[in-house]
Amino acid sequence: MSKIFDEILKARGLTGKKRDAFLNPSYDAHHNPFLLPDMDKAVERLVTAREKQEKITIYGDYDIDGLTASTVLIDAFESFGFAHVDIFIPNRFVEGYGLTVEAVEKIAAKGASLIVTVDCGSLSEKEIVRAGELGVDIIVTDHHNVAPVQPPAVAVINPKRLLQDYPNDYENFLLKPDSSRQDAVYPFLDLAGVGVAFKLVQALQARLEGLPDGQEKWLLDLVALGTVCDVVTLVDENRANVYWGLKVMARAHRPGLKALMAVSGVEPSQVNARSLGFGLGPRMNAAGRLETAQYALDMLRASDNDTALEKAQLLDDMNKARRAEQDKIFKEAIVEAEQRASDPVLVVSGEGWNHGIIGIVAAKLLEKYKKPTYVLEEMGDESKGSARSYGDFSAADAIRAADDLITKGGGHKLAAGVTLPTKNIQAFRERVNKFYRDQKLFNQQSLLLPKADTVADLSDVTEELVERITWLEPFGNGNPQPVLVSEKVLVVNIRRMGADAQHVKLEVQDGGKVTLQLLAFNAPENFFVEPGEYVTVWYQPDINEWNGRRTVEGRLLHLEL
């Protein structure tokens, strides 16, 4: 068994000291926060604000990264003795994403003299200029794309600034070992928004009393939740923060998260990254997708168990409503997608498709059709959309290639947003498809196929191996759950399951007569093979517990005859 586990580690480049550091992530190895751009300026301004007890507004965002980052800051600020701090969470359907002039004016009218953004603000030039006119200073903490010239904020703390300034010194967001800038620049750039906010807290500990060294670790449950749900790479500092944050979460010291785990069916002692991404995360996001993310913030900040449970139950109910609405939009979107089968990029639109939900629908369409996808809600003369992509096609670059057709848009390579006149949808569809064809991309769908860490005989797939694989937790972007491939195994049984027989369970057997059950939900047609056929299977091994019995099963990812 250790042979297979060692092969998995080797396939991931984890040997020698790297292996030990990965299997035992050290929180104390965190990087110096003052190596981040403008951190010293932000700390000086906040020290002054603390001395004068200025009115401060934390300007959040309606996704989990923004909500957890806001909560990290307000918790820490209260410990540091800031007396007048509140949080402003924009409404997706009113203010929309990020800083807005209207919101800045509203905050200034209430007497705030300092705004600290989390998870937004790097591109908010005109909003920050307006704040200055109103006598309000702004500190930006963010991790999104940066401008060539920084907006006139007191500080713009964004690790991506270093990637812009020193592109040749970094690889996969990590400072290259041979870089001449060791100990001069921040060595890891893929922090989530909550990670950047947490670095600000660590920096403030050097100047302010109230949060003794080590006590900031109690904030790591929030850092873990935001980091996992924002799908940044779980390596370096992110891995350590999530690893230790899950241990904090297992202690369930925060009433809101304790209640959310209860309604999500997550046992605190068993909480892992998957629990955050598929259990807690969707329930928190449902509030901002349907109404207002304030409900999720109230849950996070609840100080008593009764209030926490009431808020968590509300989020659970909203998540059920979100799923029902999502299924309806998905079915309607499939009808349109089928009419555009020859397009390499899907652009679908419809009236009444809640733009808080269409991002998830775009992800599901990408999964179904293996194509980059834009889903738009038609709202009269204007339409708003979300995009999801994969491989070498940048959803954000394609939007920029349609600049003359849109009102606004941007984002990342794999996820982006766009607003445009409804009458331009067909022209936009033609433009992004032309952009795709001009890239001359080939063999993209193969990038979606699982990559096996190692070849395994079925006899290798034991409880002991599964236990060892858990040592590699937390799994996520940059550290996926290991995949095994077993070649030319015999299908001895097949069982269709689900209301529409859409799931499949295969029983396979190798030459040594060892059998293994493999399960796939919403399985593609080629997974429904006949007993007696020989197949090569890619799968993730796991433990199934049922009626007190423990068996090793595999989650079937891919199958070839």
Give 379-428 pLDDT, tens digit per residue.
999 999 999 999 899 999 999 999 999 998 887 788 899 999 999 999 99
For residue 109, being part of any structural domain is answered with: yes
What per-residue confidence (pLDDT) applies to 24? 92
Domain edge (last residue) among 187, 207, 234: 234
What per-residue confidence (pLDDT) applies to 513? 85
The share of the chain scoring above pLDDT 70, in percent, equals: 100
- Based on the fold, state whether residues 496 and 380 are members of the same structural domain: no
- Based on the fold, state whether residues 377 and 467 are members of the same structural domain: no
Q: pLDDT for 459-510, tens place per residue? A: 999 999 999 999 999 999 899 999 999 999 999 999 999 888 889 999 999 9
What per-residue confidence (pLDDT) applies to 446? 83
For residue 220, being part of any structural domain is answered with: yes
List the domain range (segments joined by +) for residue 53: 23-234
Q: Would the pLDDT of 1 be above 70?
A: no
Amino acid at the residue 248: V
What per-residue confidence (pLDDT) applies to 355? 85
- Based on the fold, state whether residues 313 and 284 are members of the same structural domain: yes
- Based on the fold, state whether residues 81 and 217 are members of the same structural domain: yes
- Based on the fold, state whether residues 299 and 359 are members of the same structural domain: no
Contacts of 264 (CB under 8 A, 6+ apart): 275, 279, 280, 283, 316
DSSP one-letter code for 405: G
- Based on the fold, state whether residues 356 and 472 are members of the same structural domain: no
Q: What are the contacts of 504-513 at 24+ separation with CB within 8 A?
A: 504/528, 504/556, 506/537, 506/556, 508/458, 508/535, 508/537, 509/458, 510/457, 510/458, 510/459, 510/486, 512/457, 512/458, 512/459
Domain edge (last residue) among 324, 347, 381: 324
Mean pLDDT of 222-244: 95
For residue 5, being part of any structural domain is answered with: no
- Based on the fold, state whether residues 222 and 256 are members of the same structural domain: no
Domain edge (last residue) among 393, 427, 447: 447
Q: Count of domains in the chain?
A: 4
Strands, E, within 37-163: which ranges? 56-59, 85-88, 114-118, 137-141, 155-157
- Based on the fold, state whether residues 529 and 381 are members of the same structural domain: no
Contacts of 473 (CB under 8 A, 6+ apart): 243, 246, 272, 273
Q: pLDDT for 251-272, tens place per residue? A: 989 999 999 999 999 999 999 9
Contacts of 467 (CB under 8 A, 6+ apart): none
**Residue 40: band (very low, low, confident or very high) from pLDDT cuts 50, 70, 90:** very high
- Based on the fold, state whether residues 52 and 111 are members of the same structural domain: yes
For residue 8, being part of any structural domain is answered with: no
For residue 35, give the CATH number of its domain. 3.90.1640.30
For residue 207, being part of any structural domain is answered with: yes
What per-residue confidence (pLDDT) applies to 412? 79
Angle at 199 between CA 193 and CA 200, to 5 degrees: 95
DSSP one-letter code for 210: S
Nearest-angstrom CA–CA distance, 297 and 90: 12
**Residue 546: band (very low, low, confident or very high) from pLDDT cuts 50, 70, 90:** confident
If DSSP codes are grouped into helix, strand and coil, which group holds residue 49? Answer: helix
- Based on the fold, state whether residues 79 and 216 are members of the same structural domain: yes
What per-residue confidence (pLDDT) applies to 104? 97
For residue 17, being part of any structural domain is answered with: no
Nearest-angstrom CA–CA distance, 389 and 410: 13
- Based on the fold, state whether residues 113 and 141 are members of the same structural domain: yes
- 386, 374 in Cβ contact below 8 A? yes
What is the pTM assigned to this prediction?
0.91
- 38, 96 in Cβ contact below 8 A? no
- Based on the fold, state whether residues 60 and 167 are members of the same structural domain: yes
Nearest-angstrom CA–CA distance, 551 and 492: 18
φ/ψ of residue 556, rounded to 5 = -75, 125
For residue 427, being part of any structural domain is answered with: yes
Nearest-angstrom CA–CA distance, 97 and 397: 19
For residue 511, give the CATH number of its domain. 2.40.50.460
For residue 409, give the CATH number of its domain. 3.10.310.30
For residue 7, being part of any structural domain is answered with: no
Q: pLDDT for 121-157, tens place per residue? A: 999 999 999 999 999 999 999 998 898 999 999 999 9
Q: Would the pLDDT of 456 be above 70?
A: yes
